[in-house]
Structure 1
Amino acid sequence: MTTKAPEADTRAEELAPGVWPVAWTVVVGALGVLFGTTIVAVAVEPLAGILDVPLSTIQWISTGYLLALAVVIPVVPWAQRRLGGRRLWILGLLVFLVASVLSALAWDAASLIAFRVLQGVGGGILMPMMSTLVMQAAGGKGLARIMAVIGIPASLGPILGPVLGGVVLDRLDWRWLFLVTLPFGMAGIALALKYLPKDEETRPAKLDVTGFALMSSSLAAVLYGLSDASRDGGFLHQDVLVPLLAGLAAIGVFTRRALRRRTESLVDLRLLRHLPLASSTLLLFLSGVALYGAMLLIPLYFQQLRGMTPLVAGLLLIPQGVGTLLSRTPAARLSETIGSRWVVVAGFVLVTIGTVPFLGATEHTDLVLISAFLLVRGLGLGAVTVTLMALAFEGLARDEVPHASVISRIGQQLGGSFGTAVLAVTLQAATTTASTPALGFQHAFWWALGFTLLAVLVSFTVPRGSGTRG
């Protein structure tokens, strides 16, 4: 005997009181962090010349930031229990602001790298807290619609960050790369003091030191290995292979230990038994590949193959950002009525369609055509991201939300690093063997398309009724 599935209620679900002030408070604070993360994307090569250091040295302003981010993220659930969400959010903003000012005052490459690492510490606190604070305020209601708002920084950062960086380098001193984020941070602190709920009485929480050492070192090792994958030898180079294998081994040890512990682990991996969180984390990994991997290829296509400046290349990415913003709210509404699965499937199909023109792109491909397909690509990415980020928290208790936020954030972070590394290696190998540079880029874009098609298939693992109200 089969049971008829309840029809989805298309009426808007009433949201928890006070959730929107919390959501917009988080958005303002996070914008500074996301711009601070992505604004240096076009600044690495110019800064190498300005500071008179090799490119391999100055790249650590990005690598060091990402490693610090990876080390801090796993400890955030413990820190929230110990300090409270409001205090921890403000602390993260203060650390990021101080590090931004220090980065602007840096006197050489070494000091700039050190201050960027400190920025990564602040970012590592704030990234998982963005979702945690708002999801806890929402109380499980209207998750997709709320995620459509708090995901705005994540959508704008990779698109507008490079544009803002290009404008600064073209018109201002390089130190403004770090000062332009200050208004967001200061406004974020003021709003947090006014709108974030005061912390309830905190409870003593013992830090899982062994788990912290395993998780943080493993993520740092994996990200470090992936960041070096573009050098000669690719993934087989010892500077890539050794940290990768060591990091994966440490992740395995941490996972085995976390699943066997009777007391609370640093990150509760047992939550991955919850199918919505498990499927969304896997797909966020693949969406990270699709977004950040292609965000390496597409600007390089504009700059290296078509001879455009970093600023022009950044401006040409705006249609993708516009598409991402346009699709977020409709995707949230659809996921609440027809279910998350079909929104995610459709989103990845759009990303696939938006990647197709690059498979045969040359120096002479019509830019209007490319812009139109980048808009389509952005529509897909926006639909996928907002739906998956909401899905990760579906059906979870309040005290499980911080752990789910860390798990999903790590999945997306590793996906972005993995995609960037694989496509960088592929592009390097293809451009050295292909008869023309255009064929090298086309080969790399085929890899990007392959990851996206894999995501389409994996999308069918999303639980059928997820996101619907009945």
Structure 2
Amino acid sequence: MSSISDDRFDRRLLAMIGVILLGGLLGILNSTMAAVATDTLATAFKTSLSTIGWASTGFLLAVTATIPFTTWAVDRFGGRRLWLAGLLLFLAGALAAGLSWNVGSLIAFRVVQGLGAGLLDPLVLILLARAAGPHRAGRVMGMMGVVLSLGPVLGPIAGGAVLDSLSWRWMFLLSVPIGAVAWFLALRMIPTEGQDDRPASGRLDVMGMALLGPGFAAVVLALSQTAEQGGIATWQALLPLGAGVVLLIGYAVHAARSKAPVIDLRLFANRGFTASVTIMGLGGMALYASLFALPLYYQQAHGHDVLTAGLLMTPVGLGGALAMPLAGRLSDRLGSRGPATGGAILAALSAFAFTQVEAATPEVWTVLGALAIGLGSGCFSAPTMGSLYRTLPPALVAQGSSVLYMLNQLGAALGVAVVTLIVQTSGDVVTGLHGVYWFATAMMVIVLAAIPLLPGKPQQQDASDVLAKTSS
């Protein structure tokens, strides 16, 4: 998909962004809505919480395992065709999940949804990055950040609202009409790619696919089980962790020998790329710490119900939604380092402030602190993603997007596991909150140390092949 010229940016690109983000938002909302329905689903199917938890875990593992295939398929079949197929698969899974007759069918259909989401999620990044071009990468990533910021916050609120007034089935069935609208809009708004508009696709790296996708999925499963079991020293966590490590080491050996691996590990030889994915991964860990710990604090320290606690989390997403478009646009003109540094400092100071919060602290201060964390996160996230796509040549956008998304998945799972262990080993909710935010503060300090490694001003950047250094 060729970059859209400046004089047509507002008309064509904005319409396409809206359609793509509508489809991307469905996956985020659906997965986060389902997370708040665990108790309801366990009661409905007369099963245990650990069993029903596989409806969410299966979804997550299917997403993670599918991402490497998307890296190859987008160049083989074209972004538009793959987007339509992924959205159709996601909607079929949503419809079937809403009609599930037992817990086994629900888990199976959630896996189908995850396969569709595994196509859609990296495609959001790939399609937008290719359409915008390197000079508008920050602006477009900032627009996408509105969805990324609001989705995880609005999902639990929407899920709670649905469960209060409708059957649990509607958490999945409501996606169908909205997704159908998104599918027909995509037919009209996403342009068809010619073969010349996308990089040439080689043969599918079957061995790489068999090692990388399952390897990442196994590590994510191990982290999820660590959180569920209350520690890593259990067979439920150690078995998938060991399998994942072996598979990923095997992939590293395979990629070093292969001429066309599904993900070329020499991408990490580029300093700017490595800094970008590191910052996004660590920043995601810190953000998920807030999304996990703050609702618990509001419920246990202030006695709020789940829906009220979710509403009090809105400032986190609102801050990110406000900051990302502005910071992304600014980074296109001034470079990524300045906005990212300011945002990381604000997020670090806000996280540190939460280490001083007590049970009697007025909620107005925690709400303002949550807003500041969202603003800070947005200010470094959009410029960092923009710099990644200014660093990569078009031929490597798909690989870079997949690496970014997989590491974000891994960072989120690791963040939830660490936060869960902190909370479970703390004496009370306030002590747990302090521990979580000391962890978040440490992540922000590392992010600050990595920001100087990002590329400089846009006019100074070289969009040449990032593999050139290693091949010369």
Match of 2:238 in 1: 241
Give the superposition deviation at 1:172: 1.3
Does the CA-based 8 Å contact 2:344-2:444 persist in structure 1? Answer: yes
Q: Alignment partner for residue 36 of structure 1, among 18, 30, 48? A: 30
Residue identity opposite 2:253 in structure 1: R
Q: Alignment partner for residue 415 of structure 2, among 419, 425, 435? A: 419
Q: Alignment partner for residue 453 of structure 1, among 445, 462, 471? A: 445
2:126 is the counterpart of 1:132: yes
Is there any run of 5+ residues in structure 2 with no aligned partner, and where? Answer: 463-472
Match of 1:273 in 2: 269
Residue identity opposite 1:221 in structure 2: A
1:306-350 Cα shifts (integer Å, max 9, x gaps): 332111111001111111111112211321233211222221222
Q: Alignment partner for residue 301 of structure 2, among 298, 305, 329? A: 305
Match of 2:389 in 1: 393
Give the superposition deviation at 1:157: 0.9
Matches of 1:254 and 1:421, distance apart in 2:
25
Distance 1:350 1:184, change over 3 A: farther
Does the CA-based 8 Å contact 2:391-2:461 persist in structure 1? Answer: no
Match of 2:48 in 1: 54
Matches of 1:343 and 1:122, distance apart in 2:
34
Does the CA-based 8 Å contact 1:147-1:386 persist in structure 2? Answer: yes
Matches of 2:215 and 2:230, distance apart in 1:
22
Match of 1:261 in 2: 258
Residue identity opposite 2:190 in structure 1: L
2:143 is the counterpart of 1:146: no
Matches of 1:406 and 1:15, distance apart in 2:
30
Written as runs of structure 1 = structure 2, the 5 A alignment for 1:324-363 is: 324-363=320-359
Does the CA-based 8 Å contact 1:340-1:468 persist in structure 2? Answer: no
Larger proportion of helix: 2
Give the superposition deviation at 1:216: 1.0
Q: Alignment partner for residue 200 of structure 1, among 180, 190, 194? A: 194
Give the superposition deviation at 1:382: 1.3
Distance 1:397 1:377, change over 3 A: same
Q: Percent of aligned positions with the same letter in both sequences?
A: 35
SS in 1 for 2:391: coil
Matches of 2:300 and 2:58, distance apart in 1:
26
Does the CA-based 8 Å contact 2:13-2:132 persist in structure 1? Answer: yes
Matches of 1:184 and 1:389, distance apart in 2:
28
Does the CA-based 8 Å contact 2:285-2:412 persist in structure 1? Answer: yes
Moved more, 77-86 or 13-22: 13-22
2:339 is the counterpart of 1:317: no
2:208 is the counterpart of 1:211: yes
Matches of 1:155 and 1:285, distance apart in 2:
15
Residue identity opposite 1:56 in structure 2: S
2:280 is the counterpart of 1:288: no
Residue identity opposite 1:176 in structure 2: W
Matches of 1:40 and 1:307, distance apart in 2:
23
Match of 2:248 in 1: 251
Matches of 2:39 and 2:460, distance apart in 1:
47
Written as runs of structure 1 = structure 2, the 5 A alignment for 1:77-156 is: 77-156=71-150
Match of 1:76 in 2: 70
Distance 1:70 1:319, change over 3 A: same
Does the CA-based 8 Å contact 2:286-2:439 persist in structure 1? Answer: no
Does the CA-based 8 Å contact 2:160-2:306 persist in structure 1? Answer: yes
Residue identity opposite 2:130 in structure 1: Q
Distance 1:464 1:398, change over 3 A: closer
Does the CA-based 8 Å contact 1:159-1:321 persist in structure 2? Answer: yes
Does the CA-based 8 Å contact 2:390-2:461 persist in structure 1? Answer: no
Matches of 2:320 and 2:460, distance apart in 1:
22
Distance 1:232 1:126, change over 3 A: closer
Does the CA-based 8 Å contact 2:94-2:176 persist in structure 1? Answer: yes
Match of 1:5 in 2: none
Give the superposition deviation at 1:170: 1.2
Matches of 2:284 and 2:132, distance apart in 1:
26
Give the superposition deviation at 1:468: 7.0
Give the superposition deviation at 1:23: 1.6
Match of 2:224 in 1: 227
Residue identity opposite 1:220 in structure 2: A
Does the CA-based 8 Å contact 1:338-1:468 persist in structure 2? Answer: no
Does the CA-based 8 Å contact 1:28-1:187 persist in structure 2? Answer: no
Give the superposition deviation at 1:61: 1.5
Report the count of equivalent residues: 453
Matches of 2:32 and 2:296, distance apart in 1:
15
Matches of 1:83 and 1:115, distance apart in 2:
25
Does the CA-based 8 Å contact 2:341-2:448 persist in structure 1? Answer: yes
Distance 1:466 1:416, change over 3 A: farther
Match of 2:456 in 1: 464
Distance 1:58 1:325, change over 3 A: same
Does the CA-based 8 Å contact 1:337-1:468 persist in structure 2? Answer: no
Matches of 2:228 and 2:399, distance apart in 1:
35
Give the superposition deviation at 1:466: 5.3
Match of 2:466 in 1: none
SS in 2 for 1:400: helix
Is there any run of 5+ residues in structure 1 with no aligned partner, and where? Answer: 1-12
Matches of 2:201 and 2:270, distance apart in 1:
27
Give the superposition deviation at 1:85: 0.9
Distance 1:373 1:270, change over 3 A: same
Residue identity opposite 2:186 in structure 1: A
1:217-263 Cα shifts (integer Å, max 9, x gaps): 1111101100011245612222212322331232222123213322x
Does the CA-based 8 Å contact 2:142-2:326 persist in structure 1? Answer: no
Give the superposition deviation at 1:204: 6.6
Give the superposition deviation at 1:28: 1.5
